[in-house]
Amino acid sequence: MINGSRLLKHLHDLSQIGRNEVTGGINRFSFTPEEKQAIELITMYMEKAGMTVTVDAVGNIIGTYGEGRETIMLGSHIDTVPEGGKYDGALGVLAAIEVVQTIHEQQLSPAKKIEIVAFKDEEGTRFRFGLIGSRAMAGLLTQEQLLQTDASGISIEEAMKQFQLSPFPLEKVKRNDIQAYLEMHIEQGKVLENEGLPVGVVTGIAAPLWLEVTVTGVSEHAGATPMLIRQDALTAASEMILAIEHLLNDTTDSVATVGKLNVEPNGINVIPGKVTFTVDIRDIDEQKISNLENTIFKKIQKIAERRNVTLTSKVLQRVKPAKTDPMIQQQLINSIEKHGVQSYSLISGAGHDAMNIAAVAPIGMLFVRSKDGISHNPLEFSTDEDIILATNILYDSVVELAN
Ligand code: HGY
Ligand code: MN
Ligand code: MN
């Protein structure tokens, strides 16, 4: 059995790094002092678990236990969304470390090498482009993508170099020795709670398409410009955003979210001349995502023409949806039932590093129930009991897979 109190203490300690004392939200973005502090903490935990710790060329933190040509990889991420919760990503990394520390203390010698990865920048908060570390390991990261910049104009490549990383050639990060990849993560939705179940086995992972839409009108005087001749970028964008919501309300499983909006010149008495907003479109089916991309663009283009404003749209990131491996699913189901719990299979609406690793290895994901399904919010919560149960299930699966 894993050491539950040690795991819960690690979760608490990591959650203090980047924590906003007023809101309780966590702000830990890639290539920042907060992330550096978090990396030092998990490095210490990994070493105490008997692992050697290395950092690859793009900044993935890799703990290695044992030897062997084949690798069983566990992982998740330690970066967060703005005002994030304490479990998203962090739980997967810390539960994996707890599993390996238990294996180490029990002096089991797994036949295969076990690796734990804290992937670089899963959330994409700072650069509006995410899953950097897992893309690189899957050979999906391009030099051009590293040119994407943050709000102060620093590119991903520059931020890597400031962190003493030399990412090129990116091919050196790609892995071809991963025999199985397993990620434990909070569900971030309401399904398990509605079913009254503590854990779930993921069958597939819906993927995000992130667009940045720019609407350009004319900045004019708020008092001297009659309503009917305005080229107001903000009212046009508002109509577009509501049209996107209306479109998606008519779909079944697809979702779309406008999470960021920027108004220029942002003056009380100035008609907005330029508005930029993001659209996050999700589905488990890649074709449906691209159909939605086209339908949305046609719809908002019509609004732009009618309102005499111009429209441009840029893809910030595009990720392939992924299916998990049936053998690993069965492994997890066996472990769950061994613990006397009813197993339940479900799709992940949220994206994860596992989506990218699916390009180079069979993947599996174990979900932990989220209270009220809340995530990407300081109120994100999973019970100690569910966390300990899930980590024991993860332990059983890892011991099986690694031998
Ligand atoms: O956006 C996501 O689905 C994940 O939290 N990065
Ligand atoms: Mn997240
Ligand atoms: Mn996550």
Q: Domain with 311 in it: what CATH number?
A: 3.30.70.360
Whole-Å CA distances, 349 to 44, 107, 253, 355, 388:
33, 38, 9, 12, 24
Q: What is the CATH number of the domain that holds 336?
A: 3.40.630.10
Could you tell me if 72 and 114 lie in one domain?
yes
Question: Sorting pLDDT into bands at 50, 70 and 90, what band is 384?
Answer: very high
Beta bridge partners of 315: 211
Last residue of a domain, which of 318, 338, 369?
A: 318
Cα separation of 24 and 80, whole Å? 13
- Indicate whether 351 and 247 sit together in one domain: no
| pLDDT tens string 119-157 | 999 999 999 999 999 999 999 999 999 999 999 999 999
* Cis-peptide into 265, omega within 30 deg: yes
Nearest residue (by CA) to ligand 1, atom 2, is 351
Ligand 1 pocket check: which of 281, 376, 377, 380 to mutate, most ligand atoms within 8 Å of Cβ?
A: 376
Residue-averaged pLDDT of the chain: 97
Same domain, 133 and 170: yes
The string of pLDDT tens digits covering residues 297-321 is 999 999 999 999 999 999 999 999 9
Query: What confidence score (pLDDT) does residue 274 get?
Result: 98
Query: Does 385 share its domain with 366?
Result: yes
Res 338 pLDDT > 90: yes
Given this model, what pLDDT does residue 124 score? Answer: 97
Q: Do 149 and 173 sit in the same domain of this protein?
A: yes
Q: Find the 204 Cα to ligand 3 centroid distance in Å.
A: 15
Question: Which ligand has the nearest atom to the CA of 380?
Answer: 2
- Check whether 68 has a pLDDT greater than 90: no
> 134: CA distance to ligand 1 center in Å?
13
Q: Which of 264, 286, 318 is the last residue of a domain?
A: 318
Residues 50 and 186 in one domain: yes
Residue 304: is it exposed, middle or buried by C-beta count within 10 angstroms (0-12/13-18/19+)? Answer: buried
Same domain, yes or no: 391 and 351? yes
Both 227 and 330 in a single domain? no
Q: pLDDT digits over 174-220, tens only? A: 999 999 999 999 999 999 999 999 999 999 999 999 999 999 999 99
Domain's final residue, options 318, 337, 368:
318
Domain residues for the domain of 306 are 208-318
Indicate whether 69 pLDDT > 90.
no
6 CA distance to ligand 3 centroid (A)?
Answer: 22
Give the distance (Å) from ligand 3 centre to CA of residue 64: 22
Q: Which of 28, 77, 78, 81 best tests ligand 1's pocket when mutated (most atoms within 8 Å of CB)?
A: 81
For the segment 94-109, the average pLDDT, to the nearest whole number, is 97
**256-288 pLDDT, tens digit each:** 999 999 999 999 999 999 999 999 999 999 999
Please tell me the number of the ligand nearest to residue 91's CA.
3
pLDDT for position 49: 98
Whether 55 has a pLDDT exceeding 90, the answer reads yes
Instruction: Judge if 41 and 132 occupy the same domain.
Output: yes
**Contact (Cβ atoms closer than 8 angstroms) between residue 96 and residue 45:** no
Share of the chain above pLDDT 90, in %: 98
The span from the CA of 62 to the CA of 71, in Å, is: 12
Q: Does the pLDDT of residue 252 top 90, yes or no?
A: no
In this predicted structure, the answer to whether residue 91 has a pLDDT above a threshold of 90 is yes
Same domain, 226 and 92: no
Q: Ligand 1, closest atom to CA 349?
A: 3
- Ligand 1 pocket, Cβ-based, cut-off 6 angstroms: 122-123, 130, 208, 350-351
Q: Do 66 and 140 belong to one domain?
A: yes
- What is the average pLDDT across 38-62? 98
Q: Whose CA is nearest to atom 1 of ligand 1?
A: 351
Q: Given the DSSP bridges, would you call strands 261-264 and 207-216 parallel, antiparallel or unpaired?
A: unpaired
* Ligand 1 atom with minimal separation from the 89 CA: 5
* 277 and 327 both lie in a single domain: no
Shortest-distance ligand to the CA of residue 124: 1
% pLDDT > 70, the chain: 100
Cα–Cα separations (whole angstroms), residue 82 to 27, 97, 182, 258: 5, 25, 26, 15
Split into its structural domains, the chain has a count of 2
For ligand 1, what atom is nearest to the CA of residue 282? 3
Residues with CB under 5 A from ligand 3 (ion): 88-89
Mean predicted confidence (pLDDT) in 386-403: 97
Q: What is the pLDDT, as a whole number, of residue 166?
A: 96
